[in-house]
Chains A and B, each alone.
Chain A
């Protein structure tokens, strides 16, 4: 039993995958270059909106859309009423709709030569009026990006409820207009694609840095007119996803078509310039929020008009509306909101198409809700803690269904708030403020729906709907346990945590468990790694596959022990009957190599099981957290210093607390980027202005403070071990908590910050607006 406690669910087992990563032995697309590989550089649009009249090509291998008619446009539809689909051509056809849109593929033995070809192309285009801003996109008479549409909106959603009567009864009412910046996700490894045609198998093999290899396979087959048996997608080690690699890429289609056409391996590796200029593609929201509260801070109603800059196209598979349309359902957050009115718009602009980034819409929503709550609290003269305590869903209400139908599974939200506040010496902050110091205390509380499945996604009608997650568990003849899953581990530590799950069920030492993932030829179909779902879905599927595998092993083991099934059980990797035992190694050896010793009635499926799993209900787990921040503001330069950062997090039962801490810390670092540093500026012609990481600032080790994490572990009643998805959580809370701390520091000066990131220039501008700088 000791082994179970130290290596199974709940153990902070060291990560199995770290040996190869820490020794530089990871293998990424950029490390894979078969003999004869040709490299691709893309000629990309230098302008945001233009009619494309022609491309003069230099001598060499240069391919435009006209040269690759076998590629069908990418179409990520949604069946939400009113959604307008956009055809995204793999290479531009007719129009250019954002800077960085691929126009031609230039192919050469080296990347440098391919770039020489791209530089020698001459573009003929006619400039069109540019929609550089999502609010301008909504203005009457704005230039149309998709000319057969009546306006520049992919989708508008609304919930109409008349709230005007609240003015008469509310003790406080605030309205805030808030903006979040367009970011780029900045995984260490960029995108990369290597496409090959295998003539023996008559199969396209695409090695790509992908979070969702099976979805990529389906998309490739659809757009290339192949059957899915003709496509194999391999996702090797992937250096960070965050949503950036949860997409069917135009570049994947082009490389695939070229590999088939040329009969040579064809590779494209994204560089940082492409990533910054063509793919700053997330987080840009605008909110107008009005909130009413009674004298105790209890919310009476909220109205929100939200716009998301969705960019020029609807991307596959998540579509252009996932982010904005979600705002309506997640805005109430962890609170018991009695009345709610919203409108959301997915605005089409001449910017790179939006992708859901870790936290998806929640980071912006949390920022808007949490800063609005603090504005209400300031107006009412009550504390940030008090207004939250007055509105959080109480534990006795769990499971709780809110007014827009979200179902929260479990938890004690007010306790998380209490603990976070208790972890900070707020009185000391108040004393420093009284002495004139610009220091502040800020909070944010939020919940994160994860692992939501069929019942949630079928209503979206986007290109995929997650169903039963499958895992395969099988023994090799020497007793190694192989787990095969269709999702992908790229930082989540699944090679370790799924081994822990298997150990929990079968008692096999995690060192003897191998996770096979990232290859559609070797794994069951899966929608992949997204939506904080892997540990719930694959964890549940692995547990079920191992349970069934264990049953088969027990039957064989019982026969070897010359007893019956009812007399044996699995203990620490052995089939045990009284004092007698056979190891699972011996069981495996018997099935594969000494079948003469098998019982006559043995299950002919052998030691190989594929099992499917879905929580019931599958509306998703809700992890939640409270973030508490102490920030100091330099009123001379506008510089913000994070002095303290505390997180109280409830992710249900933690499979590996150490890995959870890592997930939370990484997410918080990204959230600090959103709060204080990261912003892709665009000029009025929608030209991105940051082309290197010296201009686009990411927080580094010196910008992330020591972060204290406290865990609560309220099991989800709906999942296999009570675990909840929390991979995105850390990235959701920081902007709200940090800006609330800044505004707390600025409040005595009469200043308030509204827009992200809270750069020194914006802090100083807020002070100037208040007449204090």
Chain B
């Protein structure tokens, strides 16, 4: 399949990008989701705005204890350690397991998060981390807590006139524990269950269960899960009333493994 006709725009600066967005252009970052959707004619935009050449779209900067990751930073860059410290280790571990390296070479953290595929890796991890998604709109930047960014399947807190500009995360102390588990029958398959648990010294542990064909389940205080992973995973998954017993089993397993790894 080849895409239906569309026009391609490459905005040189952010105001131009926002103007294109206001005119209805579909933003594209790494194109690892939108590309196939265009080819399959599942997405039929009249115009595509390529964000990759915007100034500062990719790259990482430190402001005190805050790490700002440009939305256009590729999974591969994160895998290769562009983010410093314990946080960087955790993010690199997640990035390493996203699809294949060719996908990671082009796919971006912001593009993936804003696309909000329920099986996507960042949607299953970022909501557990302390930080914000930085939305850029006509009025400037807006900070959206990461746990509140993904609202549903392909649905986010971004407004129609906003672009995801960056992810801001708090640096993590070296003693932070992190557990991450996902189920794919082979690399590159969409996850059928992903969970992560973050245990930061001096703070309540957090957890996310994702790849549920719905918005991720964000657990703001995962102390009970850490205390008794098996029982609490079963209880949490039971509340979701998943129809498919296999997917429910995977969800329980994901939460349990992630919690055990984070202890």
The residues of A with any CB-CB pair to B shorter than 8 Å are: 110-112, 115-116, 119, 271, 273, 636-639, 677, 691-692, 694, 697, 699-700, 702-703, 759-761, 764-765, 768, 773
Contacts and interface: CB of A to CB of B under 8 A. Distances in A.
A761 B242 CA distance: 14
Contact of A694 (B2, B4, B189, B253): B189
A703 B186 contact: yes
A690 B115 CA distance: 21
Interface stretch (B22-30, B54-62, B221-229, B243-251): B243-251
A702 B185 contact: no
25 contacts: A112-B4, A112-B5, A115-B2, A115-B41, A116-B5, A119-B4, A273-B1, A636-B253, A637-B253, A639-B185, A677-B185, A691-B40, A692-B36, A694-B188, A694-B189, A697-B185, A700-B187, A700-B188, A702-B186, A759-B185, A761-B244, A764-B246, A765-B246, A768-B245, A773-B249
B247 to A, nearest CB: 8
A273 B40 contact: yes
B14 interface: no
B81 interface: no
Given A638-B246, A761-B246, A764-B246, A112 B189 contact: no
Contacts of B250: 637, 760
B3 interface: yes
Nearest to B250: A637
Contacts of B245: 764-765, 768, 773
Nearest to A700: B186
Contacts of B190: 694
Contacts, number: 60
B249 A637 contact: yes
Nearest to A759: B185
A641 B103 CA distance: 26
A116 B4 contact: yes
Given A700-B186, A702-B186, A703-B185, 14 more contacts: A110-B2, A112-B5, A115-B1, A115-B2, A116-B5, A636-B249, A638-B246, A677-B185, A692-B40, A694-B188, A694-B190, A703-B186, A761-B244, A761-B246
Contacts of A110: 2
B245 to A, nearest CB: 6
Quick one: which of A111, A116, A637, A697 has the most chain B CB within 10 A? A637
A271 B1 contact: yes
A636 B2 CA distance: 41
Per CB-CB distance, the 3 closest pairs between chain A and chain B, nearest first, are A112-B2, A761-B246, A764-B246
B124 to A, nearest CB: 17
B4 A764 contact: no
Interface of B: 1-5, 36, 40-41, 183, 185-190, 244-246, 249-250, 253
Contacts of B244: 761
A702 B5 CA distance: 38
Contacts of A639: 183, 185
A690 to B, nearest CB: 12
A115 B2 CA distance: 7
Nearest to A764: B246
A111 B5 CA distance: 12
A764 to B, nearest CB: 5
Contacts of B246: 638, 760-761, 764-765
A171 B233 CA distance: 48
A29 B261 CA distance: 51
Contacts of A697: 185-186, 189
Contacts of B188: 694, 700
Contacts of A764: 245-246, 249
B125 to A, nearest CB: 20
Contacts of A773: 245, 249
A691 B250 CA distance: 24
A677 B185 CA distance: 8
Nearest to B249: A764
A110 B5 CA distance: 12
Contacts of A759: 185
A700 B41 CA distance: 27
Nearest to A703: B186
A119 B41 CA distance: 10
A111 B186 contact: no
Contacts of B253: 636-637
A768 B244 CA distance: 12
Nearest to A694: B190
A206 B16 CA distance: 51
A760 B1 contact: no
Contacts of B189: 694, 697
Contacts of A115: 1-2, 4, 41
Contacts of A116: 4-5
Nearest to A762: B246
Contacts of B3: 112
Nearest to B254: A637
A575 B3 CA distance: 63
Contact of A637 (B4, B183, B186, B187): B183
Contacts of A768: 245
B15 to A, nearest CB: 32
Contact of B2 (A111, A637, A638, A760): A111
Contacts of A694: 188-190
